[in-house]
Amino acid sequence: MKSCVVLAFLLFSLVCLMYQASDACSCAMSHPQDAYCHSDIVIRAKVVGKKLLNDGPFGTLRYTVKQMKMYKGFDKIQHVQYIYTHDSESMCGVKFDINKYQYLITGRVHDGKLYTGLCNFNERWERLSLAQKKGINHRYQLGCNCRIKPCHYLPCFVTSKSECLWTDMLSHFGFPGYQSRHYACIQQKEGYCSWYRGMSARDKLIINTTDP
């Protein structure tokens, strides 16, 4: 009888753990360039307020922002005043500090509203590397026709001239790694794509698809 009780408790604990795991937000890793290219809107803004809205089965947070600069999305929204996200982090809702920092915020537009979440690239502006800031300003858009191919384990290879091999997962145990912080995958005049790291010497500007 005692063993049955213990077994029942273990099964109950396992079910609880499985439920918690399924209830968590899960996002695929993404290079900042992919986040830029796949977003409708990319802005730098300061979050100045928030309000909880109950307009559905789950709560929605509406953040009020002071937009500093728009990098992408002029054709979608002329000026961003509000950003929407799920109230629950288990539903991939994102939390911003109020009246503290400037953020880089990316998201998609639906019914004229900007939505973002944990699976989008949202980061405090001062935490971005110089290369990431330059990428957001102009470099990333030069590579939106390229494909950044993740390499999770060796061996891995590029299979077309439009691919750059992303190896951060091998050397840095996940995002953010060196390529994410310092490289952009740019399409060259010849039509192929390669990593770009913006050094001063011309022979160091362009490197092959497997470097670093």
Neighbours of 163 (CB within 10 A): 18
**121/20 Cα distance (integer angstroms):** 24
Q: Is residue 19 one of the residues assigned to a domain?
A: no
Helices (H) and strands (E) in the chain, counts: 6, 10
**Residue ending a domain, choose from 89, 107, 126:** 126
Q: Which residues are annotated as a binding site?
A: 25
More confident residue, 189 or 206: 189
CATH code where residue 156 lies: 3.90.370.10
Q: Are strands 102-110 and 41-53 parallel, antiparallel or unpaired?
A: antiparallel
Q: How many domains does the chain have?
A: 2
Q: Are residues 120 and 138 in the same domain?
A: no
Answer for the pair 158, 149: CB distance below 8 angstroms, yes or no.
yes
Answer whether residue 21 is part of any domain.
no
Question: What digits encode the pLDDT tens for the residues 60-79?
Answer: 999 999 999 999 999 999 89
Q: From CA 107, how far away is CA 119, in angstroms rounded?
A: 9
Segment 122-149 shows an average pLDDT of 95
Q: What is the pLDDT of residue 13?
A: 37
Q: Which residues are documented as binding site for Zn(2+)?
A: 25
Reference 99, options 140, 38, 147, 50; nearest CA is 50
Give the residue from 111, 126, 141 where a domain finishes. Answer: 126
Is 211 domain-assigned? no
Work out the mean pLDDT of the chain and round it to a whole number.
Answer: 82
The tens digit of pLDDT for each residue in 7-38 reads: 443 343 343 433 333 357 888 888 999 999 99
pLDDT digits (tens, 9 = 90+) for 139-178: 999 999 999 999 988 899 999 999 999 998 887 555 568 8
Q: Could you tell me if 139 and 180 lie in one domain?
A: yes
Domain membership of residue 89 as a residue range: 40-126
- The answer to whether position 2 is within a domain reads no
Which of 126, 146, 163 lies at the terminal end of a domain, its last residue?
A: 126
Residue 102 · residue 72 · CB < 8 Å? no
pTM: 0.78
